[in-house]
Amino acid sequence: MAVCWDFSLVVVTAADSMRFTHSEGRACEAEYPFYSSCPADHGTRPPHPHRLDFQISDTRGTIEMTAPKGLLIVTAQVEADVIVCEDGLSFWGGVDPDTGLVIDAHHPLHGQSLAGKIVLMPTSRGSCSGSGVLLQLALNGCAPAALVFREDEEVLTLGALIASRMFDRNIGVLRLVPKDYEELRGKNTAKLQGNRLSAAQLSVDLHQVTQNDLDLSARDKAMLAGEIDKPAALAMEVICAMAAAQRAKRLIDVTRGHIDGCIYAHEANLTFATTMADMGATVAI
């Protein structure tokens, strides 16, 4: 079956997956980079795409487009004021790890507190040491209540995952599709309960990322189940959450790695390392 589609008049904010069903009932899936045809950035691919599924239901070419869902990466029960960062913020050097105040003198939120707030920003800025700053804020009780992103983000997401999985300090992490993100920008307060984000008339059901989003090998599953040891299971939980948030489909084994998190920027770095060591964690490559 050969079907030609003209997407020139269709606003596709992001997509990278197509699923085709043949008339005989056989199904196949193809990865394909779609490009935004929004007036603001015509002809360019969004830097951080969301997944959309397209299905051709019969040979006449009927196409069904399912709206993308926002992602719930770290769960939390939150009801708080919303604060908007129009520009990405580096927590390393930009946020005081002891108070939650924005100390980047060039950032529009300079002098404001992020503690206990639902913080919206398109994505964060480096350095990767921002993960440790967020962990320090969580341990101090001065962290944001939740972080809401519009694009892919790994630095603060990792810090929130460690705070949640290792220290039971939950900082919600969400990634919204652009439409919902823009609508939330105009709200003063918001609530995150279970898999639902609500703010005034806005109500968004989120997809909670889990290891079930990945095709794990038998060894991966054994590590995740704690069959090797507790530190390995914890590490796999974090890796799987990060991978699922990036819409990876599976994990691959590696033979080399870069050691990070060794900088002693504040107590959280040492607390993380000693906690892992006390559990008997070892490097596994």
Give the whole-angstrom CA distance, residue 84 versus residue 186.
Answer: 9
Structure tokens at 163: 């705070």
127 catalytic per annotation? yes
Q: Which of 17, 37, 127, 198 is catalytic?
A: 127
**Backbone phi and psi for residue 259, each to the nearest 5 degrees, phi listed first:** -80, 125
The residues assigned a catalytic role are 127
